[in-house]
Amino acid sequence: MTTATALVPETGFIRWRSVHAIWWRHLLALSRVWQVALTWFVIEPAVVLLAVALGIGQLVGEMEGFGTYAMFVAPGIVIGTAMFHAIFECSWSTFERIGQSYYETALTAPVTIHEIVFAELLFAVTRALISTVAVAGFAIAFGWIPLSALPGLMLVSVGVGTVFGGIGLLFAALSPSMHALSLVFTLVATPLYFFSGTFFPISVLPDWLQPVAWIAPLTPLVELARGMALADLGWVHVYCGLYVLGLTALLYPLAVRLMRRRLMK
């Protein structure tokens, strides 16, 4: 396990210069593999969107209150893809940086654990935003999402980055090995992708499973995205927004605490 001793006292105060340095390093690293990243951000989700919208959509047809099945499913796929990017960045990538002693080196500079966690979440938001623009742009081209909904979807993707970036950091801080870290996908990301209202309304689930689906962290984000795409926002979306803010407020200090325990002597 990597350990380090911070040279800057932890005050909880975030300095933008320190955060920006870490964020910029991650962005440069991503830009150097942009050809491969193109498949993550565009090609793979576009194939999923096309297959579901044009394949399953032909069987389902119109959905009352939502239009075509493609219009129903597109916002969920946009947000679900952003979730995978955010949780991957803050789990696998963060775990690798722990193993490579990146944070041990960073902590010898004027950087604190708070700033490291904040920077990781900021880059998770960045990846979620890139993914949202790429996949939503594809859906907009096919007429499944209106162009006017893009700013709202980007706002929702900020919530995706903070919530699932925070969850990813918890796994990175607690996982003893890369093999154990795979549980973040098998136990969290994949079940949420399929049972948070992305591909079908939660109302079609068994009665006992619906409350579980509604408290899942992806569900409020999918509901917000669909409300943005359909320009149909109500009180339920206010509750969804408050739930996302509450999750963020809970996950951030917990991530700071666990990352400090993982990194510090």
Q: Is residue 156 part of a domain?
A: yes
Establish if 218 belongs to a structural domain: yes
Nearest Cα neighbor of 113 from 17, 7, 28 is 7
Q: Please count the structural domains in the chain.
A: 1
For residue 191, the model assigns a pLDDT of: 92
Residue 1's pLDDT is what?
A: 45
| Residue 78: inside a domain | yes
Phi (first) and psi of residue 62, to 5 degrees: -75, 145
Give, for all 265 residues of the chain, the pLDDT tens digit: 445 545 554 555 788 899 999 999 999 998 888 788 778 787 888 888 888 877 887 778 777 777 888 899 999 999 999 999 999 999 999 999 998 999 988 888 888 999 999 999 999 999 999 999 999 998 999 899 999 999 999 999 999 999 999 999 999 999 988 888 888 888 899 999 999 999 989 988 999 999 999 999 999 999 999 999 988 899 999 999 999 999 999 999 999 999 999 987 5
Q: What domain range is 145 assigned to?
A: 36-263
Q: Is 4 part of any domain?
A: no
Instruction: Determine the pLDDT at residue 10.
Output: 55
Domain presence at residue 166:
yes
Percent of the chain with pLDDT over 90: 60
- Please check whether residue 189 lies inside any domain of the structure: yes
Return d(Cα 185, Cα 188) in angstroms, integer.
Answer: 5
Q: Does 27 map to a domain?
A: no
Residue 61 lies in a domain: yes
